[in-house]
Every structure is written in structure tokens, then in C-alpha cells.
Amino acid sequence: MTAWIADVLIVLGLVVMTLGVYGIVRFPDVYTRLHASSKAAFLGVSILLVATALGGGPSVLARVVLIVGLLAITTPVAAHAIAQAAYHQREPMRAPGAVDERPTKS
Amino acid sequence: MRHQAVFFAGVLWLAVLLAVAVLSIGRARSTAERLVALDVAVIVLMGLLGLSAGGARRSYPLDAALALALLSFVSTLAAARYVGDRRPFEQPEGPGKGEAG
């Protein structure tokens, strides 16, 4: 029974992961790509690791809990650092409807 | 055995996704885009290690994934701070000098 649940989770995680990588290829600028990398890719790898933990023993479960918790803490921090660096570098916002709130006279 | 086939099919598909992510590192137009693509490539690699651990019913690929998560966080943070204000390891000096915007 748990093996079937693990299969469903693997397919789901692969779909989410594929969407994340497709977002990296397809989105126009850094700020929109960060959405794909920090949300879709993290969610996909979490689902895949949970699927791994369903079939393994306690050692696998402990490592999966550690990795998912670590990623949940570090992924937003890394995404914020990249976004701040890109904004300081004045990366262009190519997404339609993007609003840059920087004052024009800096 | 059929369930293990699902794991290994997932490993193959993630290898394809890893190739796409590495290619998009080369396609990036700026350093920040390259950092984002590198981050995604590392996360895909962690998923690949996780699935191979599940398929082989071993736990040691997960140790590699854990080390990769730690290293990826530190390297992304250092590189982003270097790209941002060229001082990766110091606090900005002076009152209010390092404020965003």
C-alpha cells in the first residue's frame, strides 16, 4: 500500500519538478525565475524525498526530515539574497506588468 | 520490483531535467540568472540522489544530498553577496549604508 502511495508521490514530484525547470527555461527575467526555483523546485524535491522515506527505514526517514527541514530554512534565504543582488545590479524586469518601485532619482 | 522501476524511471527523467538545468546555466544572460539556474540544477541533483536512495533501498546517497544542500546554500549566499555589493563576508559599515534601496 505504501509502495503505491510512493509511486503516486514520485509522479507528482516529477511533474512539479518539471514545471520548475520549465519555468527556469521559459521565464523572462531573474525575478520571475526565482519563483520557479524557490517554490516549485523546493516543493518537487520535498515530495520526492517524502516518497523515498515511505519505502525506507528509520535512517532514511531521519535524513529526509533533516534535508527537507534544512531546505525549508535555507531556500527562502538564498532566493532573497539572489533577488537583492540582482536588484542592486539593476537587472532589467522583462516580465509584462512589472513595477519597479525604485525612486527614479537615486 | 515494479515499484523500483518507478524509482529508476524517475532517476532517468531527473537526469534529463538536470541536463536542461545545466544547459540553462550556459544560456543565462547575467550572473544572477546563472546563480538561479545553478540553484535549480543542485536541487534537481538532490532529487536524483533521493530517488536513487529510494530505488536501491540504501541511505548513503541521502548523506550526499544533505552535504549538497549545505554547500549549495553557502555558495549561493556568498556568490549573491559578492554580485550584490562585492563584499561577501563582511557586514556593510556605517549606519544605514547597507540598507536595500
Phi-psi region of A105 (alpha: psi -120 to 50; beta: other; left: phi over 0): beta
Q: Could you tell me the residue ranges of all domains in chain A?
A: 2-88
Contact A53, B47 (CB under 8 A): no
Chain B stretch 48-77, residues whose beta carbon is closer than 8 A to a beta carbon of chain A = 50-51, 53-54, 57, 59, 62-63, 65-66, 69-70, 72-73, 76-77
> Does the distance separating the beta carbons of B7 and A14 come in below 8 Å?
no
Distance from CA of B91 to the nearest CA of A (A): 14
- The chain A residue lying nearest B16, using CA atoms, is A18
Residue A34, H or E segment? helix A30-35
Condensed to tens digits (0 to 9), the pLDDT of residues A13-50 reads: 999 999 999 999 999 989 999 999 999 999 999 999 99
Q: Could you tell me the residue ranges of all domains in chain B?
A: 2-84
Geometric angle at alpha carbon A82, from A79 and B37, rounded to 5°: 80
* Residues of B in Cβ contact (< 8 Å) with A25: 20, 24, 27
| Predicted model pTM | 0.88
ipTM: 0.90
pLDDT at A51 over 90: yes
CA count, 13 A, side-chain hemisphere, B89:
1
When scoring B36, B44, B77 by the number of chain A Cβ atoms within 10 A, the one with the most, hence best to mutate, is B36
With bands split at pLDDT 50, 70 and 90, how would you rate the model's confidence at A91?
confident
Condensed to tens digits (0 to 9), the pLDDT of residues B39-70 reads: 999 999 999 999 999 888 888 999 999 999 99
DSSP state of A4: H
Distance from CA of A72 to the nearest CA of B (A): 11
